[in-house]
Chain A
Amino acid sequence: MRYLLRRAGFYLIALWAAITFNFIIPRLMPGDPLQNYIAKLRNQGMSQATIIALRKEFGADPSVPLWQQYLDYLNALLHGQFGTSTSEYPTPVAQILSQSLPWTIGLVGTAVVLSFLIGTLLGILFAWRRGSWYDTTLPPALTFLSAVPYFWMALALLYVFGMMLNWFPTSDAYDLSNFPNGPEWSLDFIGSLVQHAALPVITLIIGTLAQWVLTMRNAMVTTLSEDYLLMAQAKGLPGPRVVFAYAARNAVLPSITSFSISLGLVVSGSLLTEIVFNYPGIGYHLFRGASESDYALIEGGFLILALTVLAANFLAELVYSTLDPRIRHGRA
């Protein structure tokens, strides 16, 4: 329990750091980006009243002391106010984010779970059949594939399977013309959803598979040489039981530890993948925000992503502490 409280404390501090970065960075930049930004809005023909309101929302009023701005900022965040988007004016950023976050979580979640399962199973297989042709050829090949930038892999898959072969749709999260009223609970809709998500998910899986395979394989190789495995085999236990209940059960721990680092990478990859596939997640909106310098949207997007990643990491640690009791009792 103490362990979990300490971890929860750490994630709270990390979240606070993310928020504070968001507050400080625009104010530390040379040349006052907010000033430039407001000048740009004025050129775009926004009314004076709108600009003053926006200025207030950003808390960039020079007459207010910095600590007061900071407190106001925290207060606004606590009430779920991320400001107003200027690229999709006058939609509040919170609304854009809450509409797009489920898509990103769905994409990243599916990709991470599938990639973890496939990669770990492959790692078990490669370690169990060490030295076979697939153990010597596939891991380097997978590593090379993971060196290919996500968005370029996405472009290539989109080009071959979406454009040339026409197997998969090339944009959106579901068929907008068949379902004009938005998502609904029907088999047709789920089919359309899966069809649209297939290529982005495959892109993400290809990019992350090698890491799971290698981590699992290396841990398995070490575990397989342990005495208790020899014992299990000597007792005459069936092969699958030895592999899964004795070896993999213990070898999977390092993979779960590396979960936190991988998650950040997958989120980054998913942002780029969404942009290429025009998938309506956070990445797509971040891209639009970045190309139209919509800071409220960019910063809100970063905060929501940080919050999601931190929460997912905390979940992973909960799983880890149930799998490895030594962690709970502070002996690892």
Chain B
Amino acid sequence: MQVTNLGESPVETVALVEQAEQRHRGPLLNALRLLSRNSKIATGLVILLLFVLMALAAPLLTPYPPDGPKSQVAHGAQPPSPEHILGTTSLGQDMFAQIAYGARVSLLIGFVAATGSTLLQVLFGLSSAYFGGLIDEVLSLLINIFLVLPGLPLAIVLASLASASGTGKNEFVIAMVLLFTSWAYGARVLRSQTLSLKEREFVTAARSMGEFTWRMIFSEILPNEIALVASTYVGTFVYALGAEVALEFLGLGDVSRASWGSILFWAQLNGALITGQWWLFVPAGLCVALVCGALTLVNFGIDELANPSLRQAIPRKLRKLLKARAVVA
């Protein structure tokens, strides 16, 4: 970057000013700025943040316990009222308390499963493509097998066996089951991206400089597909959350503990539909739909960031800056 370039054309100048500002702000703030500038990512993240806050601040938001012996605060299922804004369950538990505390369980399982699954995806996808040969053959076979086997039935088999094996029905088991059944798709996507990246010149250059293999993979190749990793992470999160709620809905989780899935399990068990008790199943389902929708929105945004051709126009701030420079010039 030569200083003499400054001022040759307004666009370049703006780009240079931007770069200087970016260096000044440091990487973390930079990433935040980049994310907040994209309206889809910002909207999605705000919705997600609200749910995380609700989960964390659950004891402040509601005086009622969600489950346990003291959770019966009303007589049976009551429709929403000022006292219980989302009504009460058949056991007389406060629905809003269950939703708020349940968000902890559901979001945590989704988070753990998606994070673990992404680590597996990166490990399998990158090493399969980078090493090639026999390793690639074996890993690809494994990836493809997991890809074609139906995920939810496999998860049902695993979860129901685990719940009987003495480990009990708990969140950890569900998270592990989801991790195990969700990694294949992302691994395949990352593998094909790595296959094209490893032929690039900067990788060859790094190799001829005698870099360690793990450094080549993790600090040369991986940073160049970070957008792809991010979008498969978000995609896996959506899958994990949906599948987690589904497994709990089937009664394969800990149904005595409040979570979005177990709320729906009890609603179905008590025939909430037949008796018309809509408040037993509408809130939990809406929460899942909102969180999944928000994450999908984030994914669209990531696509736009990584793929500038999808973006519609120059960002508003940059255009303003351009105009200001043009006037000065």
A→B interface (CB under 8 Å) = 10-11, 13-14, 17-18, 21-22, 25-26, 29-33, 36-37, 40, 140, 143-144, 147-152, 155-156, 158-159, 163, 170, 260-261, 264-265, 267-268, 271-272, 275-276, 286-287, 289-291, 293, 295, 298-299, 301-302, 305-306, 309-310, 313
Contacts and interface: CB of A to CB of B under 8 A. Distances in A.
A30 B141 contact: no
A261 B296 contact: no
Among B159, B167, B242, B278, chain A packs the most CB atoms within 10 A around the CB of B242
B153 interface: yes
B273 A155 contact: yes
Contact of A163 (B148, B273, B285, B295): B273
B160 A163 contact: no
Nearest to B252: A290
B293 interface: yes
B147 to A, nearest CB: 7
A22 to B, nearest CB: 7
Interface stretch (B112-120, B243-251, B321-329): B243-251
Contacts of A36: 164-166
Given A295-B164, A298-B156, A306-B149, 7 more contacts: A36-B164, A148-B292, A152-B284, A155-B273, A267-B150, A291-B251, A298-B157
A276 B274 CA distance: 12
Interface string B145-182: 10111111110111111111111000000000000000
Interface string B215-227: 0000000000000
Given A36-B164, A261-B185, A149 B242 contact: yes
Nearest to A159: B273
Contact of A295 (B161, B250, B292): B161
A268 B289 contact: no
B264 interface: yes
B165 A271 contact: no
Contacts of A261: 147, 185
Contacts of B251: 290-291
A301 B153 contact: yes
A150 B238 CA distance: 13
B204 interface: no
Contacts of A302: 150, 153-154, 156-157
Nearest to B164: A33
23 contacts: A10-B144, A14-B148, A21-B157, A30-B166, A143-B300, A147-B238, A147-B289, A148-B288, A152-B289, A155-B264, A155-B281, A163-B273, A260-B147, A261-B185, A264-B147, A264-B149, A268-B243, A272-B246, A287-B250, A290-B252, A295-B161, A299-B157, A305-B153
B63 interface: no
Nearest to B147: A261
A152 B264 contact: yes
B173 to A, nearest CB: 10
Contacts of A163: 273-274, 276
A299 B160 CA distance: 10
A143 B292 CA distance: 10
A133 to B, nearest CB: 15
Interface residues of B, number: 50
A267 B155 CA distance: 13
Given A264-B149, A271-B152, A299-B157, A293 B292 contact: no
Interface string B263-287: 0100010000110101001101100
A158 B149 CA distance: 29
A143 B150 contact: no
A148 B285 contact: yes
A197 to B, nearest CB: 19
Contacts of B156: 271, 286, 290, 298, 302
Contacts of A25: 157-158, 161
A26 B153 contact: no
Contacts of A299: 157
Nearest to B163: A293
Nearest to B239: A265
Contact of B152 (A14, A26, A268, A313): A268
A271 B247 CA distance: 11
Nearest to A40: B164
Contacts of B268: 155, 276
A29 B150 contact: no
B189 to A, nearest CB: 11
Contacts of B293: 144, 147-148
A261 B252 CA distance: 25
A158 B150 contact: no
A7 B265 CA distance: 41
Interface in B194-247: 238, 242-243, 245-246
